[in-house]
């Protein structure tokens, strides 16, 4: 599996810091922009040097990525796009947890939205992706799982906003409403965008508080 660097990985690197990479490391466009903005340098190393230093570096790419399992699921309407996205995710270096469905035979989208939501909130997955024909039903269902903040995204702007402002942990997509190339861009940007925290943390905390109050009724 090729190592992958996203903008989220750079959060642990200090201003004007340095991150060792190998010649097969995949660096997302957003990570390159963030590195340029903060003066972070990507230092090319050999595989042997990189492996030797990995155990001693808290910001080692492999250790960062190993925890970034992406749970993915779909109903029959999203199955074909799910299979395409799985190929991209593997190329980008993300470990996958495929929770079905496994064919185009009709199934019920709430089952898969719940499964992905549970994988995220239990810690089995870092983030989750759910697909159905429109993406709406899966978003509604996933948001019934305590701890899930599912966002239906349909372009790059909504993908970035849902992560930066809302700390969304589940992405839902309408497989019949967007073309595969658009879905690929949305997923790539969504996974690479870190939560901005700051003033947005207060608002996310209020979302969590609503959920907690509702659970006590």
Whether residue 165 lies in the annotated active site? yes
Beta-sheet strands, E only, within 1-54: 4-5, 18-21, 26-27, 41-44
Q: Which residues of 22-51 are buried (b: 16+ CB within 10 A; e: fewer)?
A: beebebbebbeebbeeeebeeeebeeeebe
Cβ of 64: how many Cβ atoms within 10 Å?
Answer: 18
From 50, 76, 165, 200, active-site residue: 165
Q: Which of 104, 68, 64, 71 lies closest to 85, judged by CA? A: 71
The residues carrying an active-site annotation are 165
């Amino acid at each position: 599996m090729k190592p992958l660097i996203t903008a989220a990985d750079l959060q642990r690197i200090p201003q004007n810091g340095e991150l060792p990479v190998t010649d097969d490391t995949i660096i997302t466009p957003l990570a390159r922009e963030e590195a340029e903005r903060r003066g972070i340098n990507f230092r090319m190393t050999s595989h042997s040097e990189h492996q030797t230093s990995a155990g001693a570096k808290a910001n080692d790419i492999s250790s960062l990525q190993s925890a970034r399992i992406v749970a993915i699921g779909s109903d029959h309407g999203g199955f074909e796009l799910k299979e395409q996205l799985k190929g991209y995710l593997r190329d980008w270096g993300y470990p996958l947890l495929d929770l079905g469905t496994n064919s185009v035979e009709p199934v019920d989208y709430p089952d898969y939205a719940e499964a992905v939501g549970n994988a995220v909130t239990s810690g089995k997955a870092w983030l989750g992706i759910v697909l159905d024909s429109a993406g709406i039903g899966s978003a509604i269902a996933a948001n019934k799982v305590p701890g899930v903040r599912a966002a239906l995204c349909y372009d790059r702007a909504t993908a970035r906003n849902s992560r930066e402002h809302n700390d969304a942990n589940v992405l839902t997509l309408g497989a019949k409403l967007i073309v595969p190339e658009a879905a690929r861009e949305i997923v790539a940007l969504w996974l690479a965008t870190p939560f901005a925290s700051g003033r947005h943390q207060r608002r996310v905390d209020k979302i969590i508080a609503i959920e907690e109050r509702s659970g006590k009724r």
